[in-house]
Amino acid sequence: MTQVTIGDRIRRSWAITVKDMKIYYMRPPALMFGILFPVALFFTFTVGRNLSPDRLIPVLSAQTVFWSASTIGPVAIPMERRLRTFERFLSAPISLIAVLWGKMMAGFIFGAGITTLATVIGILWGNQTVSNPAALVLGIGLSSMVYSAMGILFASIPTGSPGEVIVPLNFVRIPLMFVSGMFIPVENMPAAGQIVAALSPLTHTIGLLNLGTGSPSVFGFAANIGALLVWMLVFLYVGQLFHKMIMRRE
């Protein structure tokens, strides 16, 4: 029996990523929830509030990466489950985690690409100075990984319809926006609210983006990075367990 090397697994995962990029990026659910919805939310938040660019740009970037990166998995996996192509992946010499990693990378590239474009436009439009480029890049890149993994987790719901995944996902995404310092700064929340905010990955996304544009982060650079890394691993691990559980039932 030919032994599958790490390089083989990476190439197979990347083939899945490229396939998803070609097929799902232009699908209506991806365009609606990955681009149009965060833009609409941004204008709802900003119109008539006279906020400074250093407050607006982190909100724009956080909303965009949060919604776009977490949308590709819930679009791709249910459609492939309906067409039975997801099961076909697993009959090939490739592990479940390699399949999920390939799909997570598709969400990561989608989210990071769109968010980078939106952030650059916001910086140029607002004439904003980037005081900490590393924090800004990490805020976008690491957050794209986290929310893509979150989308993969919810895509374990056994259905062939993307809408049946996106609706329960939205029941998590929308409340997270209100407890993460996006609309009300964390420091202005009551003590209980600050505890909840500390547990939200979106809080730490906004913290890194704030540092990138010269604003303070309540929890600090290291805590923001650590929290996002922990959430990424949790989403990946739990998502893999749920996918395995569903596959056994089927």
Burial class (CB in 10 A: 0-12, 13-18, 19+), 81: buried
pLDDT of residue 26: 86
pLDDT at 97: 86
pLDDT score, position 36: 84
pLDDT in tens, 19-31: 999 998 888 888 8
d(CA 171, CA 216): 29
Please state the domain extents for the chain: 6-249
pLDDT of residue 4: 65
Interatomic CA distance for residues 239 and 177, integer angstroms: 22
pLDDT under 70 in the chain at which residues?
1-4, 47-49, 51, 90-93, 249-250
Please state the pTM of the whole predicted model: 0.91
- Closest residue by Cα to residue 99 from 1, 159, 19: 19
Judge whether 35 and 68 are in contact, CB under 8 Å: yes
d(Cα 65, Cα 157) in Å, to the nearest integer? 22
